[in-house]
Structure 1
Amino acid sequence: MNNQKQILSSKELAKLLGVSRATLWRMRQENLVPQPIQISVRLIGWERHVIDAWLKERREQLH
């Protein structure tokens, strides 16, 4: 699937980042990760291309 259209669930994003879902929740509360999009009343997700860009930016800040 094209990364432009792929939506990551909180479980998938937590796995990608190597953190627990509780840690991801805390990171969201502290605005340490991009904010998710609302997919439905009870469902959120992150656009893969947004997360990829954010990770690239983080890597560049560390070097």
Structure 2
Amino acid sequence: MSKTIQPRLIVLRRRQVEARTGLGRSSIYALIADGQFPAPIRLSANTVGWLEHEIDGWIAERTKASRTVMS
């Protein structure tokens, strides 16, 4: 019997995403518009957040890409 491992669904707010990525608000939204950054999820009428595992995955992809280009 195999079980699929589900990622922990932790929601990060914008300031947390900024702190993790080192990007500012306008850079984050510009990357989202270009399809290069995970889109936020709507939490309420005026609140959005990002799934932690998607942000971590984006950081890992950027790290891998930068290491590949440098070598």
C-alpha distance in 2 between matches for 1:51 and 1:19: 12
Tell me if 1:44 matches 2:17.
no
Q: Does 1:26 align with 2:33?
A: no
Runs of 4+ in 1 over 6 A off after TM superposition: none
Bigger radius of gyration among the two: 2
Structure 1 residue ranges without an equivalent (≥5): none
Structure with the larger RCO, 1 or 2 (CA within 8 Å, 6+ apart)? 1
Name structure 2 gaps, 5 residues minimum.
1-6
Paired residues in the alignment total 61
Q: TM-score, normalised by structure 1?
A: 0.75
1:7 is aligned to 2:6? no
Identity of aligned residues (%): 25
**TM-score (norm. length: structure 2):** 0.69
Distance 1:57 1:23 in 2: 17
Q: Are the equivalent residues in 2 in contact too, given 1:10–1:24 (CA < 8 A)? A: no
